[in-house]
Structure formats: C-alpha cells, structure tokens
A = this chain, B = another copy of it.
Amino acid sequence: MTERAPLGVAVIGTGRMGADHVRRIHEVTSGARVAAVVDIDAERAKAVAARVDGCTAHTDPAAAMAAADVDAVLIASPGPAHEATLLAAFEHDLPVLCEKPLTPDAASALRVLEAEQRLGHRRVQVGFMRRYDPEYAKLKALLTTGQLGRPLMLHNRHRNVASPPFFTSSMLISDSVAHEADATRWLLGHEITAVTVLRPTPSVSAPDALQDPQFVVFETDGGALSDVEIFVNCGFGYQVQAEVVCERGTARIGDGHALVTNMAGRWGGTIAQDWTERFEAAYDQEIQAWVDATRRGEVTGPSTWDGYAAAVVCEAGVRALENGGRVEVGLVERPALYA
C-alpha cells in the first residue's frame, strides 16, 4: 500500500457506535475510507453502506475481510461477538481497532491474547479512547516529565446523567469503571493488584435494585492507590474528572471550563450531557492515530494485553461488589510481545 492510497476499513457492527465510526471515517478522518460495513441485520448494514460511495454491505465479518479493498477492521459489534471477529481478523492478518471491552470476560480475553501471540506480532488496538482525549493526554505528558515526582494517588470521578434500562449493578464496574481501570494502569504505569468496592446508600434516582453510586479502590503493584466514584444516575450531567496526587504536586483534569457565563444569579457553565460531547475529540484522535499508524505499518495504542488486564480487573471488581471486601487481581505473566 503506498501512503497515497486511503486505508480501506471494514466496520463491523452498525449500531450507534459503529454508525458513528462510519460517519467519522467518512467525514473526519484523513487517509481512510469505509470500504465495507457488516451487521447481522442486513437491512441496517445496507442503509449505512448507502451513505458512502463504494462501500459494500455484509452480514458476515469474514466476507468483508476477504474483500480486496479492505485493509483493516474496526470492531464495534456487541462484546460477546468480539472474540470470533478478532480471531477471523488474525486469520486474515488484518490490523484491528476493537472497541472496548476486548471481550466480555477474562477467559476469552486470554484466548485472544494467546492467539495474537501465536500470530507473532501485534495486530490489535483496543478502544480505550481516553488515552486520546486532549486533557488526559496533557495529564499523561505532565506525569511523564517527572516534575511532579512519583504518583501516589489517583482520584477519579465518573458521572452519567442516567443509566439505560438494562444497566445492572455489575455493569457499573465492567462497563463504566473499566475506563478508570485502564486510565489507572496507563497514567500510573502500574498493574492493578486488588479491588475493593464500597456501597453507599443508593440514590433515590437509581432504578430499584441498582447499587448506584459505588466507590471503588484500586491498589497497584507500584504502591499507588486509585479511587473511583462511579455514579451513573447523578442527574446533572456527564462528567469525567481525574486528579493525580504526586510527591511534589497534584494535577487535575475534567473541569470543562471553556465558556463561563454570568446569568440569573449564577456564574459557571454547562456540563456535557453525554460522552459524545465530552469525548468527541478523543474518538476523532483515536481513529486518526490508528489510521496513521496502520498506514505506516505499525500498531500503537492500547494493546490486547491492556484489554486482557481490564477484563481481569473488572471480573475481580464485580466479585468485590457482590461479596464485599477486597479481591486480589491475578494476571498471567506479561508476554514479551507486550513488553
């Protein structure tokens, strides 16, 4: 592939997230085109494909991967379908951007990890898009300079306006806190070794039987602590904040103070109402970085190892939620491929 040719991407899954990625690659991303879309719902696939010149519609991921103009795969289907699609992509030796979670549980994540090792080179970037958020990126860059000293604690806030009807107490961990599990590992450069989940009285705004909010404490092999307030029915907005406390100072992101008004007795600003507003730039940057690296023949960003580690941590977190107390996290030894 010369650099000139745009990267032909097959987008697997055309639900809300997949359709948004199709739009993004078509209208925002430089150097890529949507070559194919795949959905088990053939009509939905066709409708999405029709928006893009030369894009074909499929119901089988393997068929799309076999197409001549498909150079790379973006997986945005439901989590349980990820493993099979990843293994198929490995057979075609195609680069993959896989939306989080890598797979829904630690056992399947380990199988993917082993399959990629057999392939012998990295093919997968996992969709932990916070690493591409301009604010998180600034925070990471500041930590990397070392001017604040070693990180000792990380305080995280993760708040949603309201949870969807199907949301369960364990999904607060596996779906939401999964982001903080990755952010903790990435910002601190430590693996998580234990999880404790505390259960304050649920909010009256939480649906019956939903344990919301929760307060999660991660311990790490570097000795730093990371605590997470997860509150998915906070009512007032979508808010993601992080403060790293280091030996010589602290750094905080997520205030979102771009536009400040005075009005009706109050100063301040609006809070984003969902993740598309808060993290739009992060998704744009993530896809562009993936396309750029892929065209250079490289694989960068969060790896299969990161997807596997998140799966193990979240499984431990769900056990900690259900049984109380502190649950240790056991990872396999880190393969050389992900050193």
Hey, which bits of chain A sit against chain B, CB under 8 A?
A: 2-4, 26-31, 53-54, 134-135, 138-139, 142, 147-150, 152-153, 155, 159, 198, 200-201, 203-205, 213, 215, 217, 219, 222-225, 227, 229, 231, 234-237, 239, 245, 247-253, 255-271, 273, 281, 288, 292
Contacts and interface: CB of A to CB of B under 8 A. Distances in A.
Contacts of A257: 255, 257-258, 267
A4, A134, A248, A292 — which one has the most chain B CB atoms within 10 A of its CB?
Answer: A248
A281 B213 CA distance: 35
B200 A247 contact: no
Contact of A152 (B200, B219, B227, B281): B200
A142 B259 CA distance: 10
A149 B205 CA distance: 10
Tell me how many chains of this kind the complex includes.
Answer: 4
A239 B262 contact: yes
A72 to B, nearest CB: 16
Nearest to A213: B152
Contacts of A248: 205, 235-236, 263-264
7 tightest A-B CB contacts, nearest first: A268-B268, A201-B223, A249-B263, A257-B257, A4-B53, A203-B247, A250-B262
Contact of A288 (B28, B153, B204, B268): B28
B224 A201 contact: yes
Contact of A229 (B155, B213, B253): B155
B198 A217 contact: yes
A255 B243 CA distance: 14
A3 B250 CA distance: 48
B215 A198 contact: no
A150 B288 CA distance: 41
A268 B269 contact: yes
A148, A248, A250, A281 — which one has the most chain B CB atoms within 10 A of its CB?
Answer: A250
A199 B250 CA distance: 18
A225 B213 CA distance: 10
